[in-house]
Amino acid sequence: MTPTLAIIYFSGTGHTAQLAEAIRSAASAQVTVEPHRIVGTDIVNGRFRCDKALDMIDAAAGVVFGSPTFMGGPAAEFKAFADATSDRWSTQAWRNKVAAGFTSGSCPNGDQSYTLNYFSVLAAQHGMLWCNLDLACGHNPSGLNRLGTQLGLASQGNAGVVPESDLLTAAHLGRRVADLLVRLSR
């Protein structure tokens, strides 16, 4: 049976959505991919209320978290999703699922590493297995991982344009997570 990878993300300007699509496209060559973009109607009175998205992650073998970095962390919309996972945390329902993360910002640093750290801690709280970005910065002839984060994908774009090297890094992350899911499913 082919493993399923969930991608749950928020995108305010479209940068994060472009990265999610690159991850989805690359991973879908090996696994079934189910993305969910967090939208305003998913949030009711400040709480994430989309059982379909939570059920999708329940059924998946892995999940990739994504959010732009706002004020040194994930966007409030993603945080509302994370807070809504506490029922699953208390039962460790997502234990041993593979997890990874990606973020975007308008500055080359912009504290994106804090958002990736947030994702990895969220995964650790759920007992998930973190899949990092296995690309050394500055040593890849294709320019992958140009911002030099190892924990996950950090991207920097402006005016709706995501650099090609960041989209290629997103595709690499998608293939890496899919490879791991396939190996673990054997």
Q: Are strands 62-70 and 73-74 parallel, antiparallel or unpaired?
A: antiparallel
User: Tell me: the pLDDT tens digits for 16-63?
Assistant: 999 999 999 999 999 999 999 999 999 999 899 999 999 999 999 999
Range of the domain at 53: 4-185
User: Tell me: the pLDDT tens digits for 112-132?
Assistant: 899 999 999 999 999 999 999
DSSP one-letter code for 158 = B
> Rounded to two decimals, what is the model's pTM?
0.95
CA dist 133 and 35 (Å) reads: 20
Domain count, the chain: 1
CATH of the domain at 153: 3.40.50.360
> According to the model, what pLDDT value does residue 151 have?
92
> According to the model, what pLDDT value does residue 138 have?
67
User: Tell me: the pLDDT tens digits for 52-107?
Assistant: 999 999 999 999 999 999 988 999 999 999 999 999 999 999 999 999 999 998 87
CA dist 140 and 55 (Å) reads: 38
* Cβ atoms < 10 Å from Cβ of 108: 11
The CA angle 78-55-93, to the nearest 5 degrees, is: 85
